[in-house]
Amino acid sequence: MNFSGREALKEILGEIPLAAELYWLVRQNGKPISRFSLKHLQLALPEATAQAARFAASAPAGKRVFLFATLHYWIEHTSLLGLALAGQGHHVTFGYLPYSDWQKPVNRFDLRRQNVYARKVLEQAEPLVQAVSLLDIKPRNHLLPRELSQAVDQVSSNDTQYTLQSEEVDQKNPIYRLRYERNQAAAMAALAWLQTGRPDVVIVPNGTIQELGVVYRAARTLKIPVVTYEFGDQRQRIWLAQNAEIMRQETDNLWNARHETPLTDSQVERIRSMYAARQNASVWENFARRWQGTPALGGEQARAALGLDQRPVILLATNVLGDSLTLGRQVFSQNMAEWISRTVQYFSGCPDVQLVVRVHPGEVLTHGTSMVNVVRQVLPKLPEHIHLIGPKEKVNTYDLIDVADLGLVYTTTVGMEMAMNGIPVIVAGQTHYRNRGFTLDPDSWVTYFKLLGQVLANPAAHRLTHQQMELAWAYAYRFFFDFPRPFPWHLVRLWEDYQAHPMESVLSPEGMQQYGQTFRYLTGERLDWTSIPA
């Protein structure tokens, strides 16, 4: 039987009650299905559950918590989180969807096999954690509230942009249709369960894309408190947002509480040490990656390599197209590509300055539209005063910062780092450091081009003051070291981290002293930055 024939047969078998479940029990004998593997969790759960149960036996009664995850790696991580919360006395329900891929269709037969496999693995955590597959929920009402229906449209568009790494969304595209169907089904199932279960708090990873974003919005529609979480580059640290999408990286409350508190000498030394590591392509402390592929050689060497003269240098640093940190971040442009196009067009008529477009090195890992192509569409032949640095070129961004007189950014942290060096920066997107007192933040095209003209007329006069630079350094410290909270298990190296920090260690008095506050924030205790030592 050919491939298409097998798939057609699976679609038929998928509609026959118990066919997939019996096949899994008889033929697979508890083994994973293709990429949907929970083998590490399957091995760890019996002991982890027993350890959590010992602490739960004497823990005071906690909250009714509903966690949700999809995709095998998030299911594994969220399962451990659920056990840790149950060990602290919370009544935990874990809702899941057994998908192995967010962008590839799966036939009903295989999906049901993945479902029974996940159920059998997760049953090992009972009775501490009750597992509920959203596939098994049959909503009575198939009409979503208008607010949630609109949210499904938006999340599906985000998913399409994220998957195709394109800011243009065609609702006829197969990816959009796949994402819409899955998100619609997840929204109906989550809404049905939440209306009946009415937990005290919902916890969801990410909260912006895929079914994760839909379940977040279903909880908000019902006015149920919800916490979203994600991970950055730092080991043993987690990002948290309460009643907000964590990928928005909203730091308003943190900054309001601490912007008037000066950094200590040791804090200044720490942020300067981290910045030096970023410059020199070095791994630093608990950060898991390098920020540059090429060590810094110095601004003058970069100037010579690019053929830059003494005319003012404007550095435009791009983001990766479709990255979840850029989705929906437009302020006055339709999207990042339009902002870059119009900016490059503007500078084509400004030969008295030099524009350097630094395309994000992360593009080497993507397959979507490159910002190189966006620039080339506007200027197929670059004039001598415009320089385009592709993602593969061995150029250190910090060398470019050394020679820049003005920075232009969408949401990249390079804008914050330019401000730390006293360079005036115009921010075109909605990023976490916008409106913090050390950037220029236009809210319209008119204001944007007016600011450009003013700064270009006299770049030196717009250099940041010493006070503004100190503010930028202080904000950077708060963002990198205060905003992420202590947490034992990072998503990327989950089982390596779990081996170092098993359940009994995390739930011990010493573990609770280190991580207890973070768990309380995850279960909805207000994250009050004024009460956390700075």
SS (H, E, C) 422-489: CCCEEECECCCCCCCCCCECCCCHHHHHHHHHHHHHCHHHHCCCHHHHHHHHHHHHHHHHHCCEECCC
pLDDT at residue 517 in the model: 96
Q: What is the DSSP letter of 26?
A: I
d(CA 166, CA 178): 17
Domains along the chain with CATH numbers: 3-252+485-527 (no CATH), 263-482 (3.40.50.2000)
Instruction: Supply angle C-alpha 475, 476, 477, rounded to 5.
Output: 90
Contact 68, 130 (CB under 8 A): no
Find the length of the chain. 534
| Cα dist from 293 to 77, 278, 280, 320, whole Å | 30, 10, 9, 16
Token pair, residue 434, equals 């916008």
Of the chain, the end-to-end C-alpha distance in Å amounts to 65
pLDDT at residue 293 in the model: 54
pLDDT at residue 368 in the model: 66
In the 3-class helix/strand/coil scheme, how is 181-197 assigned residue by residue? HHHHHHHHHHHHHHHHH
pLDDT at residue 12 in the model: 47
Q: Which of 189, 202, 229 is nearest to 98 (CA)?
A: 189
pLDDT tens string for the chain (534 positions)? Answer: 344 555 554 554 445 554 555 555 555 666 666 679 999 999 999 999 999 999 999 999 999 999 999 999 999 999 999 999 999 999 999 999 999 999 999 988 889 889 999 999 999 999 999 999 999 998 887 789 999 999 999 999 999 998 888 888 999 999 999 999 999 999 999 999 999 999 999 999 999 999 999 999 999 999 999 999 999 888 899 999 999 999 999 999 999 999 999 999 999 999 998 888 877 765 544 544 444 456 666 788 888 889 999 999 999 999 887 676 777 899 999 999 999 999 999 999 999 999 999 998 877 766 667 888 999 999 999 999 999 999 888 888 888 999 999 999 999 999 999 999 999 999 999 999 999 999 999 999 999 999 999 999 999 999 999 999 999 999 999 999 999 999 999 999 999 999 999 999 999 999 999 999 999 999 999 999 998 888
- Helix, strand, coil share (%) of the chain residues, nearest 5: 50, 10, 40
d(CA 79, CA 128): 11
pLDDT at residue 2 in the model: 45
Sole residue written with tokens 């990249």: 412
